[in-house]
Amino acid sequence: MSTKARRRRQTAAGVGKPSGAGLPTPIKVGGIVVVGLASLSAIFSAHTRGGRVSPGQAAFQVGEPGPGKEAPAFGLASTAGGTLDLTSLRGKTVLLYFQEGVDCQPCWDQLKDIEKDWSRFQALGIDQMVSVTTDPLAALKQKVADEGLSTPVLSDPTLSVSKAYHANSYGMMGTGADSHSFLVVGPDGLIRFRADYGGAPNYTMYVEVPTLLAQLQQGLKKA
């Protein structure tokens, strides 16, 4: 058999063709779309899981202003109505919870689970919790209603308060949103505890309540 004849026979049998070269165009395009969707799904899933960690494994950073520093004053529109001023809470021990916002479901699960165990936070001397995020007030009101929450959630759309606390410095969204930070402000207006959980490499968006309580207790003892 001549060389040309052997090549024609090999080509007809598919020998030497690039992988997928004989597939119809719709199948090849469909395969690309499936791979792309799978990649996007993986990214979304990772964000939805929010870097949940097992009890006792929640590493955090301590940003500035930190323990011993005066908590920057602020007044922001609240889902509870009107404006909430931090100075109006003087005399109380306040847990500030900066979070990523409406699209971060683990952040809201965190808020719900804290509310469920609120008596254990009170046992540590905490009187009130306030959450801060950068979403518009209308969206926050709807989310709070949907989740059945009672904690005041404050809207900081210009990031003025977030930047004052550097709460937007520890997340997967860059500096355009808050991440997952807790601060305890004492009755005198001084910060007694701070934990920024949302930083690299874990980008934690949910801390098991027993872990959070244990770390709060340890930090408040040091304060």
Residue 40 has pLDDT above 60, yes or no: no
- The span from the CA of 127 to the CA of 78, in Å, is 18
Domain ranges of the chain: 75-222
CATH superfamily, domain at 75-222: Glutaredoxin (3.40.30.10)
- DSSP labels, 128-149: EEEEEESS-HHHHHHHHHHHT-
pLDDT score at 63:
97
* pLDDT tens for each residue of 150-190: 999 999 999 999 999 999 999 887 899 999 999 999 999 99
Residue 17 has pLDDT above 60, yes or no: no
pLDDT: which is higher, 73 or 33: 73
pLDDT score at 57:
67
Query: pTM for this structure?
Result: 0.77
Other beta carbons less than 10 A from residue 23's beta carbon: 12
pLDDT score at 58:
85
- The span from the CA of 164 to the CA of 212, in Å, is 24
SS3 199: coil
SS3 196: strand
* pLDDT tens for each residue of 59-101: 999 999 999 999 999 999 999 999 999 999 999 999 999 999 9
- The span from the CA of 114 to the CA of 116, in Å, is 5
pLDDT score at 166:
97
Average pLDDT over residues 32-47: 35
pLDDT score at 141:
98
